[in-house]
Structure 1
Amino acid sequence: MFKIKKKIIYFIESILLSLLFIFLKILPLNLSSFLMGKLASIVGPKLGISKKAYNNIKYVMPEKNEEQSLQIIKGMWENLGKVFGEYPHLSKLDPEKNNKIEVCGKKNLELIKKSKIPAIFFSGHIANWEISPIAAIRNDVPVLSIFREPNNPFVNFLIKYLRSNLPMAPKGKEGAKQLIRSLKKGTSIGLVIDQKMNDGMKVPFFNKPAMTSDALAQLCLRIKSLVIPVEVERIRNTSFKITFHNPLRITKNGKKKTPLQIMTEVNFILEKWIRKNPDQWLWLHRRWQN
């Protein structure tokens, strides 16, 4: 009986979400993004979960006063709402079709093609994190990205449909196997690595210990690959800048770095991006033991 009720709830949720996405799809991209951003900026800060974001900001950026902290939270919710409003329009967030999206660091994409060495692209939940794989693919660099499947199977089907042009692997053991196979075949992969991983390792993040997945480090040490940071910035509304930074060096004095050294550098890069645009990062994760 419980399972039947659960399926009914899942089905109703998916219907409501589908209707909302259809409505947003009818709207122009800019309007869809604006409306959802405005709605989220009004409702989001009033939700209990915003307390987690507030605590995180105070924990790692104590220099921010009360007003600044609340502004960051409001901006975070607005950005999150915009991402939701942009989801039905992912096909329009293509740098080849949209002149509001600037792609920098194309030389590093050329390096991948010329060297025939696959890349491990990494980024965080900053700005609209869904669009960086599109930029790589449009520059003839195939990317397999990993994602967490929603618990609701109907919603999962909907999300997969919207991402149908983007190769995806589910988070978990099967997804990890797909990532390894892809790298070995010469296909690049994309990782969003700013979430807490309980079975990971303690790595400094904003000078605080944070449980961090070392999958990126293990992969690049095991399989010859280029580790490329991908920074996404929301410049204004639906205008973005995507930067493919220079590959990280995974050797030092002729020896391979340790996973801790690699992930410390990765976290430091993420921190720099977040400090630059703190209102564009998803502060809702339980990232630290604070």
Structure 2
Amino acid sequence: MAKRDSSLQLAVDWVSDRMIRALLWLLMRVPYDRRVVLAGWLAAHVLAPIAGYRRRIRHNLALIMPDLPESEVRRMQRKVPENLGRTLIELYSGPEFAARAARATVTGEGLPALDAAHAEGRPVLLVTGHIGNYDAVRAALLARGFKVGGLYRPMNNRYFNDHYVEAISRIGKPLFPRGRHGLSDMVRFLRSGGMLGIVIDQYMRAGVELDFMGHPALTALSAAEMALRYDALVVPTYGIRQPNGLDFDLVFEAPIPSGTPEAMTQALNDSLAAQVRLHPDQWLWTHRRWKKPRV
């Protein structure tokens, strides 16, 4: 039965990937600005209802922002998947997206610290979340000549994963898959003075229960643990989408002080929570971020 189920899942994955490939091919035939807008519209009005995203957004908002007016909840049900669609097609747009990110405005206290770390050859962890377009920071820093890599979680659909990794590789390399496979290469890169982009706002079964936006959420301590182990600077970074939906403001906050892994990770959670409250429609409320751990 397990083998049959596995074969069925592979077939489903293959078919769904072919549909995604066809849609991406069509979108890539459209000029960049219109492509991004169209991808956002499709995600908000076609993908979101089919995938159940609207229901999950409403559920998460009821937990975190219970007093949000109904009109704002409905707006968020449109804008959150719209940002997801825009982000996905931007990641597939390689050089065009990278050129747009390179022109982004830059703010925050962390940029001088990044410049100093780059000059000293000190490792840096650029910690972010699924807000705006998290890869805009990597693209912009690569354009400035910084040595920046990315840590990514392989997709469950291996057919989709193949071309997804190929796409984000066109923005810049190196990239390291989360887990044992990419660990040794990632460590060597960090020790050589590289900067590594990490997202920390996903549910992690093996994580520690920390506060995120007023509720407990299992959170990985790996970024803080790596920073302590390799004397890496930890800088909260965000690629916030501008009102025109195409350009970005890059925010580099002050480095997180060294402490216990729990204290450092809580500081990162608090930093991200503040950005989510500033730009709620740009965060991925479709995540099961506050899912209860299995007993």
TM-score, normalised to structure 2, is 0.87
Matches within 5 A, 1:51-66: 51-66=55-70
Residues 211 and 7 of structure 1: CA distance in aligned 2, closer, same or farther (over 3 Å):
closer
1:230 corresponds in structure 2 to: 237
Distance (Å, rounded) in 1 between the aligned partners of 2:119 and 2:210: 34
Residue 169 of structure 1, aligned match among 166, 176, 179: 176
CA distance in 1, matches of 2:278, 2:161: 33
Residue 212 of structure 1 is matched in structure 2 by 219
Secondary structure at the residue paired with 1:198?
A: coil
Unmatched runs of 5 consecutive residues or more in structure 2: none
Q: Secondary structure at the match of 1:163?
A: helix
Cα offsets for 1:187-220 (capped at 9, x unmatched): 1211011111111111111121111000011111
Structure 2 Cα separation of the partners of residues 156 and 41 of structure 1: 22
Residue 188 of structure 1 is aligned with which of 195, 198, 202? 195
Which amino acid is the alignment partner of residue 38 of structure 2?
A: L
Q: Note the alpha carbon deviations across 1:94-135, whole angstroms, 9 max, x for none.
A: 24x667522345433312222221100011001112222111
Instruction: Say if 2:72 is the partner of 1:83.
Output: no
Distance 2:227 2:101 in 1: 33
Q: Say whether the 8 Å CA contact 2:27–2:39 is kept in structure 1.
A: no
CA distance in 2, matches of 1:162, 1:182: 21
Q: CA deviation at 1:269?
A: 0.2
The residue correspondences of 1:68-147 to structure 2 (distance < 5 A) are 68-95=72-99, 101-104=104-107, 106-147=111-152
Change (3 A) 1:101 1:287: same
Tell me whether 1:200 sits opposite 2:207 in the alignment: yes
**Unmatched tracts of structure 1, length 5 or more:** 251-256
207-216 vs 39-48, which deviates more? 39-48
1:269 has 2:274 as partner: no
State the identity as a percent. Answer: 27
- Letter in structure 2 aligned against 1:110: D
Which residue of structure 2 lines up, in the alignment, with residue 247 of structure 1? 255
Confirm or deny: 8 A CA contact 2:117 2:124 kept in the other structure. Answer: yes
Q: Which range moved further: 159-168 or 43-52?
A: 43-52
Would you say the 8 A contact 1:214–1:263 is kept in 2?
yes
Q: Aligned in 2, Cα 1:55/1:13: closer, same or farther, shift over 3 Å?
A: closer
> How many matched pairs?
283
Q: Which amino acid aligns with 2:233?
A: L
Alignment match, 2:26:
23
Work out the CA distance in 2 between the residues paired with 1:45 and 1:16.
Answer: 16
Q: Is the Cα–Cα contact under 8 Å of residues 93 and 101 in structure 1 kept in the other structure?
A: no
Q: Which amino acid aligns with 1:16?
A: M
1:134–1:166: 8 Å Cα contact kept in structure 2? no
Structure 1 vs Structure 2 CA RMSD: 2.2
Checking the alignment, whether the CA contact within 8 Å between 2:132 and 2:240 is kept in structure 1 is yes
Q: Distance in 1 between matches of 2:211 and 2:156?
A: 31
Which residue pairs with 1:254 in the alignment?
Answer: none
Q: 1:44 to 1:13 in 2, by over 3 A?
A: closer
TM-score (norm 1): 0.89
- Aligned residue identity for 2:88: F
Q: Is the 8 A contact 1:199 1:213 kept in 2?
A: yes
Deviations 1:57-83 (A, max 9, x none): 111122312222221221101111111
> Contact (CA 8 Å) 1:14, 1:155: kept in 2 or not?
yes
1:34 to 17, 32, 37: 37
Structure 2: distance between partners of 1:185 and 1:32: 38
* 2:124–2:232 CA contact under 8 A, matched in 1: yes
